[in-house]
Chains A and B, each alone.
Chain A
Amino acid sequence: ETGVTQTPRHLVMGMTNKKSLKCEQHLGHNAMYWYKQSAKKPLELMFVYNFKEQTENNSVPSRFSPECPNSSHLFLHLHTLQPEDSALYLCASSQDSTRDRGNEQFFGPGTRLTVL
């Protein structure tokens, strides 16, 4: 619907597991984002990529590892997560913008992650 797809839509994993979240955008955008959305909390930006280069890393624990092989694909590799990492993980993309303009972001449906 929005041109941004995410897989899987739901994921349950143990604390010792390793898994990856995938995001793909079909909009020709060159900036991609990972957000975390927990219950009763605002959207928390985790990582930003522009033209495959990571431009922001908002003090995210190293158990989250992003990968952006090209402008259309974004991954979030997960390992040794904690139960408090359970949340909705949203991917978004936007078109290139000049500094301070902040073009609108298009979100994927999210991955609902549960860490046991």
Chain B
Amino acid sequence: GQQVMQIPQYQHVQEGEDFTTYCNSSTTLSNIQWYKQRPGGHPVFLIQLVKSGEVKKQKRLTFQFGEAKKNSSLHITATQTTDVGTYFCAGPVRDSNYQLIWGAGTKLIIKP
């Protein structure tokens, strides 16, 4: 069946270091979405990528959608404590209305 794999599960970084999470789909996606969930909070939509090879930036966050539209990445430059949380990718389920298939998430942890 359709799957979305996200790695790594956790990433510990020193404040100021970079962070990257990768998402790989078993099928071609029409779009991919990224969400952030702060500790104790709920997922919040960050961005949607639609085009093959698309790159979008939000301040220190860079999102990429692969040429084959099967993989995506989120890169954070110079992490800050406000970046702490779990980052999820999600893509539409093929042949299903509105449903998203979710990656397991990557938890960003800032080392003390």
Contacts and interface: CB of A to CB of B under 8 A. Distances in A.
Q: Do A and B bind each other?
A: yes
A45 B43 CA distance: 14
The secondary-structure label for the interface of chain A is loop
Contacts of B41: 109
B45 A42 contact: no
A53 to B, nearest CB: 10
B68 interface: no
Contact of B94 (A45, A50, A100): A100
Nearest to B4: A42
Interface residues on A, range: 20 to 34
A105 B88 CA distance: 12
A102 B30 contact: yes
Interface in A75-116: 90, 94, 97, 99-110
A116 B58 CA distance: 43
Contact of B44 (A42, A55, A94, A107): A107
A107 B42 contact: yes
Nearest to B33: A104
Nearest to A98: B97
B82 interface: no
B84 to A, nearest CB: 17
Contacts of B97: 31, 48, 50, 55-56, 97, 99
A67 to B, nearest CB: 18
B92 interface: yes
Interface stretch (B14-22, B59-67, B98-106): B98-106
Interface of A: 2, 31, 33, 41-43, 45, 48, 50, 55-56, 90, 94, 97, 99-110
Interface of B: 30-31, 33, 41-45, 48, 88, 90-100, 102-105
